[in-house]
A and B are shown apart, each in its own frame.
Chain A
Amino acid sequence: MSLSRRQLLSGFAAASVIAAAGPALATETPRWSPGLDNAPVDGFAEAGMRLLSGRAPRALAGEHYRNGPGWFRYADSATGHWFDGDGFVQRFAIEDGRARHSGKFVDTPKRRLEQREQRIVMPGFGTRGDRNAAIEGPDSMNAANTSVMIVGDELWALWEGGSPTRMDPRSLATLGVRPLRADLASMPFTAHPKVEPNGRIWNLGIYGDRCIVWRLSPNGAVEDAQIIQLPTRSYVHDWAVSERHLIIPLQPWIHDRMTAPMVDGFTWHGDQPFRVLVLDKNDYSNRRVYELPAMFFFHTGDAWEDADGAIRFDLCASANADFVTHQARSMITQETGQTPSAELVLAVLHADGRAELQRSGRYGEFPQTDRRRQGRARDLVSIVDDRAVSRLGLMNWRTGAYAEHDFGADQMVQEHLFVTKPGRTNERDAWLVGVTLNAREQATELHVFDAAGVGDGPIATWRSPYRAPLGFHSTWKDA
């Protein structure tokens, strides 16, 4: 690591620095509002996107699948939180230099019921729902709206409180919820599974201060599932896996009251540390807990371990939980407010038990890394920044270099994924493929960057004749 010492902070100083350094910029108009309209009830039939600029490399062929909330309101009722909209899955297929787009709602029991009754019925993360809602279990409330992953021949729409919803990746037809194993029906399965380069799938499911650790084969069969005790309750949205360890960050945002909506039952405990539980992949009883200063996060990049035993993983960290408790609600009511900021940091867990944060001074969210290198040493992580203007950034932790592209104030930039160039192995031999919502043009755009030249702007951009909802997470499938 050759970052300057100035950037290498540790201990409680880091918490106050993050709190002070996050430039929370007030916005005049809610830039996100076009992305929080209901998508068309029948979705978008597959159609070509218009090439706006550049030229897509011939070798780039595959599908970018994307999930996110796409339905927020009926005539007389609305969801109470961005996180509660019905899952809307989009498919961007790139082949022979052309791009095609389609989108469909995940046909969940929740959506079927609410469409039938034309009102919000089910409670959610930030939605009260009808007190007489017929809740058979978590999957009654499953919005299937957070992420997508390809497993075997299926596309799974993920929602952290319940089961994956299986879909057909070509037609986006919903195949339904089928338990991963009969005795494990209705168990939580986070929206951030980790896939080893060999295809093995790891995931968690959090329930109070307990957690299921899932280990699945590449085709989705349960190889192992164990319940472990966590050292504390916490909101665990994302986590990390290195070659030898499972890394579970436990931030001090704790669900300690049963109340509706659920988000109101969380308390920010800024006086408590940010703990990190590290488990040996081969023996979960072999564990260790590290402590970092209090901070809030949604997303990790990925983890790796050095020869000296230190574990490193990227996080997008903010000073507190204000975004999730306040702003993600006011987004639904289209109120203006402060735009959130999270700083890209690298958590370093030393073999001697010390933990520290290496800061980047770069702000953004939705960190993405080269999935070929899952759990392995790497230099790069991409983030997107949606404060006053929208930027895609690519951080190099080894050199400290940061490349960025400015999409301007009219665009909302979303997660950009690493796509490997065929037959190449260098980390920079990749494209970054992602979506923006162009508010001025009321259109969804698909962009391809060369990871070696992010600052040069997209090498190809396509535009749809309509706008699709903002989303959370994507996955890429090579053709």
Chain B
Amino acid sequence: MLRTALIALVLAAGCATAPAQADETATVTVQLTGLQPQGSVMMQVFNSAEGYGSGDQLTARQIPITAASASVSFENVPPGQYAIRLFHDVNGNGQLDTNPFGIPTEPFAFSNNARGRFGPASWEDAVFTVTAGANVHQITIPGSN
């Protein structure tokens, strides 16, 4: 029965693009599956727990979606610890839509396919390691509510 006040997920809708910082040691390909073929995915990449917590991103991408899967590559990435959060802007209005109680009505996801319980996934659950050379990271987009 009742679940009042269960979920108030707040994802910052960062969609500005910034160039990847280069030291030419790794590439990261993020593969997205489970998409409805419309709109764009708005993706933010973080390289520290502090940045992840405050929304201070390392870089961000807008990825137009025309099929059930998509991929995006980041070049010249320094090896290290990263986390990704994204949402699927299905209706293309540039933001993560929510219902009047702040619950997202568009799909969202995190690296490692981590899920928050009553909020965004934690840095600890979303962090993954990038090593020198080619890296592939897969994220499945959950169906929208």
Closest beta carbon of chain A to B128's beta carbon, Å: 16
B4 near A255: Cβ-Cβ < 8 Å: yes
Report if B6 contacts A (CB, 8 A).
yes
Closest beta carbon of chain B to A352's beta carbon, Å: 33
Contact of B7 among A135, A159, A206, A212 (CB under 8 A): A135
Report if A187 contacts B (CB, 8 A).
yes
Report if B137 contacts A (CB, 8 A).
no
Report if A125 contacts B (CB, 8 A).
yes
Chain A residues with CB under 8 A of B107: 136
Chain B residues with CB under 8 A of A207: 4-5, 101
B1 near A161: Cβ-Cβ < 8 Å: yes
State which of A93-101, A126-134, A267-275, A399-407 sits at the interface with chain B. Answer: A126-134
Chain B residues with CB under 8 A of A235: 2
Chain A residues with CB under 8 A of B104: 137, 186
B117 near A133: Cβ-Cβ < 8 Å: yes
A136 near B142: Cβ-Cβ < 8 Å: yes
Main secondary structure of the interface of A (DSSP, over half): loop
The A76-96 residues at the B interface (CB cut-off 8 A) are 83-84
A184-216 vs B, Cβ < 8 Å mask (1 yes, 0 no): 111110010000000000000011101010000
Chain B residues with CB under 8 A of A133: 115, 117
Report if B129 contacts A (CB, 8 A).
no
Report if A160 contacts B (CB, 8 A).
yes
B87-111 vs A, Cβ < 8 Å mask (1 yes, 0 no): 0000000000101110111010000
Contact of A138 among B97, B103, B113, B142 (CB under 8 A): B103
Chain A residues with CB under 8 A of B117: 123, 131-133, 135, 260
Docked Cα-Cα span, A217 to B51, in Å, equals 48
Docked Cα-Cα span, A84 to B97, in Å, equals 29
Report if A1 contacts B (CB, 8 A).
no
Report if A377 contacts B (CB, 8 A).
no
In the complex, what residue of chain A is closest to B104 when comparing beta carbons?
A137
Report if B144 contacts A (CB, 8 A).
yes
Closest beta carbon of chain A to B85's beta carbon, Å: 14
In the complex, what residue of chain B is closest to A125 when comparing beta carbons?
B1
Chain A residues with CB under 8 A of B7: 135, 137-138
Closest beta carbon of chain A to B66's beta carbon, Å: 22
Docked Cα-Cα span, A258 to B4, in Å, equals 10
Report if A237 contacts B (CB, 8 A).
yes
Chain A residues with CB under 8 A of B101: 187-188, 207, 210, 212
Chain A residues with CB under 8 A of B6: 135, 138, 141, 161, 262
A146 near B142: Cβ-Cβ < 8 Å: no
A161 near B2: Cβ-Cβ < 8 Å: yes
Chain A residues with CB under 8 A of B116: 135
A159 near B1: Cβ-Cβ < 8 Å: yes
Contact of B100 among A140, A160, A187 (CB under 8 A): A187
In the complex, what residue of chain A is closest to B142 when comparing beta carbons?
A136
The A133-173 residues at the B interface (CB cut-off 8 A) are 133-141, 143, 145-146, 159-163
Chain A residues with CB under 8 A of B113: 134
Closest beta carbon of chain A to B126's beta carbon, Å: 12
A187 near B115: Cβ-Cβ < 8 Å: no
User: A: which residues have CB within 8 A of B?
Assistant: 83-84, 123-125, 131-141, 143, 145-146, 159-163, 177, 179, 182-188, 191, 206-208, 210, 212, 227, 235, 237, 255, 258, 260, 262
User: B: which residues have CB within 8 A of A?
Assistant: 1-7, 97, 99-101, 103-105, 107, 113, 115-118, 125, 142-145
In the complex, 13 of the A-B residue pairs with CB atoms within 8 angstroms, ordered by the A residue number, are: A84-B1, A124-B3, A136-B107, A141-B3, A159-B1, A161-B1, A161-B3, A183-B105, A186-B103, A188-B4, A208-B5, A258-B5, A260-B117
The 4 closest A-B pairs by CB, nearest first: A161-B3, A137-B145, A134-B115, A83-B1
